Structure 1
């Protein structure tokens, strides 16, 4: 269901007629002109919205750093869940180090522990950062 403005359904407003002291034919003519301008105003608003989205995307993408992982790299994995025995704000934010075993397209990565046991589930690259011993 779409909302309709009073201008679009041409409901005459008595308050507007009395305040502007227009005759009904003149008022109807102005009302039709306003109806014709509604589409133009909507297009202008849409254009401004798209320009704003492009500016915001450009500003965000400028601050994003591309990270590339290769098999054999050492990484730390972000702790994504809070365990009941955690120490609140003093808990570790990252765990590891881990070794990158395989990198898939879409930045899914299979990790293994330092002793060589491979984790079954892939990890998103957003939750990793390189470890420099």
Structure 2
């Protein structure tokens, strides 16, 4: 859920950057940015967030000023026809949500397929020599001009899910297991 909030915030910031020239007055444009975000079709579900929450498409202020076909059609209905139309819309909402769920699942499958096309299997065996990546937030990081890899280390155990247990060349095991993405083969 936290990732969805971060993605929404990132998209809102992009919209606001396009709407204002400087950082002053962004709060005045926030309601317009939110309206634009909520009424734009999301690729992942094939629907707008507004439709999924409120069960009907949003009517933007421009459609009220200059009536669209949808507004004209609803304005010419009498009360009985309007109620019948709303009931029909409510019965179709489950179908619309189901279509959005299916669309989301297909989108997820396409993303997984695209990811797996670029990922290559990294298979390590016990006894192989590897170098370990030095991450910037770790204690062994010495600055941007320092090396990015340290080692060599020897693979002591290959765990499930791509984790490895390493040891220093004198057979002292590294205290924690490490993801195989953070190591590379070392050739002598």
1:98 to 143, 146, 153: 153
1-structure distance, mates of 2:152, 2:91: 65
2:173 corresponding residue in structure 1:
118
| Count of paired positions | 123
Residues 1:51 and 1:115: Cα distance change in structure 2 (over 3 Å): same
Pair 1:86-2:139 in alignment = no
RMSD: 2.8
Partner in structure 1 of residue 182 of structure 2: 127
Following superposition, the deviation at residue 38 of structure 1 comes to: 1.4
Per-residue displacement from partner, 1:42-80 (whole Å, max 9, x unpaired)?
111111111101000110011111111111101001112
User: Which residue matches 2:104?
Assistant: 49
| Greater length-normalized contact order (CA 8 Å, ≥ 6 residues apart) | 1
Cα separation, 2, equivalents of 1:5 and 1:105: 45
1:61 is matched with which residue: 116, 129, 137? 116
TM value normalised by structure 1: 0.76
* Unmatched tracts of structure 1, length 5 or more: 8-14
Q: 2:80 aligns with which of 25, 36, 40?
A: 25
Counterpart-to-counterpart distance in 2, 1:127 and 1:39: 45
Greater gyration radius: 1
**In structure 2, distance between residues paired with 1:113 and 1:84:** 15
Distance 1:55 1:109 in 2: 30
Moved more, 19-28 or 46-55: 19-28
Instruction: Report the CA distance between 1:130 and its aligned residue.
Output: 0.8
Structure 2 residues not aligned, in runs of 5+: 1-51, 57-63, 65-70
TM-score, normalized by length of structure 2? 0.56
More strand by share: 1
Shift in CA distance, 101/82, structure 1 to aligned 2, threshold 3 Å: closer
Secondary structure of 1:76's aligned partner:
strand
**In structure 1, distance between residues paired with 2:119 and 2:180:** 13
C-alpha displacement of 1:97: 0.8
